[in-house]
């Protein structure tokens, strides 16, 4: 049984790393933090903690990236995502912890492998595809706090310009995170204990995100995207192992 101090220390390191990766690439905070945090905290606590922390890191990145947002391209994705979040929260409430850990790990690993392999299949009717992609992202956001993979793969497939890609992702994740909060409050997921851990982890988040943004200006993005995906795959596999009772 881990003590609260041990959880805060381990969680702080995890959030710091996730913040660095998020600041560097514009995505990946939940993908990195959730699979590690669920090793020593229940998924029904981890998801709202990461949701609240994600709002902070998204806000920091969005201040820098807002001028590159392409609303015409992203509004339908956002709308479909918002509609999918309540169903995702419902799944979080009814699913058992082990199943949810395995689901989170599988989503993380498959998404990372696809991105690492350079999966690309251009979609000609982008508006039509935005509805299921956005809904899937909202569903995952509400149930696992990891709504990124469908949209990341979608924009990668469509060859979105780097700054527009990053800005649109950040805006969508910000709105999805905010849209998920009310349903989690109603579902009783955002508790005093969740808020306490969130406050303890926030300094690590701020330091990690600031360092990641600074690092993005100096280091090859391609190299660090590959490093990010390797970390994501490793954490995804650890979540699967935790769900199977191996950790």
Residue reference for tokens 């979040």 = 85
- CA distance from start to end of the chain: 13
Tens-place pLDDT, residues 56-88:
998 888 888 888 888 888 889 899 988 988 888
What does the pLDDT read at residue 228?
Answer: 67
Give the separation between CA 57 and CA 171, rounded to whole angstroms: 11
C-alpha atoms less than 13 angstroms from C-alpha of 107 in its C-beta half-sphere = 26
Question: How many domains would you assign to the chain?
Answer: 1
Give the separation between CA 175 and CA 122, rounded to whole angstroms: 26
Mean pLDDT taken over the chain? 83
3 contacts 40 by C-beta, under 8 angstroms: no
125-126-127-133 Cα dihedral, nearest 10 degrees: 120
Mean pLDDT within 110-115:
78
Q: Is 117 exposed, middle or buried (0-12, 13-18, 19+ CB in 10 A)?
A: exposed
What does the pLDDT read at residue 28?
Answer: 77
Q: Could you give the angle at the alpha carbon of 112 between the alpha carbons of 154 and 157, nearest 5°?
A: 20
Helix (H) or strand (E) holding 59: helix 43-65
200 has a pLDDT exceeding 90: yes
What does the pLDDT read at residue 135?
Answer: 92
**Domain with 65 in it:** 4-243
- Provide Rg for the chain, Cα atoms: 17
What does the pLDDT read at residue 225?
Answer: 63
50 contacts 33 by C-beta, under 8 angstroms: yes
The residue count for the chain: 247
Q: What percentage of the chain carries pLDDT values higher than 70?
A: 94
Tens-place pLDDT, residues 209-239:
999 888 877 777 677 667 767 777 776 787 7
115 contacts 229 by C-beta, under 8 angstroms: yes
Tens-place pLDDT, residues 150-196:
887 787 777 777 778 778 888 888 888 888 888 888 888 899 999 99
pLDDT band of 246, cuts 50, 70, 90: low
Q: What tokens does 98 get?
A: 């082990």
What does the pLDDT read at residue 247?
Answer: 60
Q: Is 63 exposed, middle or buried (0-12, 13-18, 19+ CB in 10 A)?
A: exposed
Which residues, in sequence order, are CB contacts of 82 under 8 Å at separation 6+? 138, 175, 176, 179
């Amino acid at each position: 049984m881990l003590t609260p101090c041990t959880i805060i220390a381990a969680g702080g390191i995890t959030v710091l790393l996730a913040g660095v990766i998020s600041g560097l690439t514009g995505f990946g905070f939940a993908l990195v933090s959730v699979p590690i945090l669920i090793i020593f905290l229940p998924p029904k606590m981890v998801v709202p903690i990461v949701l609240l922390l994600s709002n902070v890191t998204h806000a920091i990145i969005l201040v820098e990236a807002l001028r590159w947002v392409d609303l015409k391209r992203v509004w339908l994705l956002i709308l479909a995502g918002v509609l999918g979040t309540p169903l995702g929260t419902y799944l979080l409430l009814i699913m058992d912890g082990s199943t949810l850990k395995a689901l989170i790990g599988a989503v993380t690993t498959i998404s990372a492998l696809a991105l690492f392999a350079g999966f690309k299949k251009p979609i000609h009717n982008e508006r039509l595809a935005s509805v299921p992609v956005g809904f899937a992202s909202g569903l995952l956001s509400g149930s696992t706090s990891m709504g990124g993979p469908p949209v990341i793969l979608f924009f990668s497939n469509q060859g979105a310009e780097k700054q527009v890609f990053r800005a649109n992702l950040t805006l969508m994740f910000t709105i999805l995170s905010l849209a998920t909060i009310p349903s989690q409050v109603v579902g009783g997921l955002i508790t005093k204990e969740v808020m306490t851990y969130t406050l303890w982890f926030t300094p690590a988040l701020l330091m990690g995100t600031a360092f990641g943004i600074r690092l993005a200006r100096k280091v090859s993005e391609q190299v660090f995207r590959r490093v990010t995906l390797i970390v994501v795959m490793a954490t995804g596999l650890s979540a699967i192992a935790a769900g199977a009772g191996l950790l």
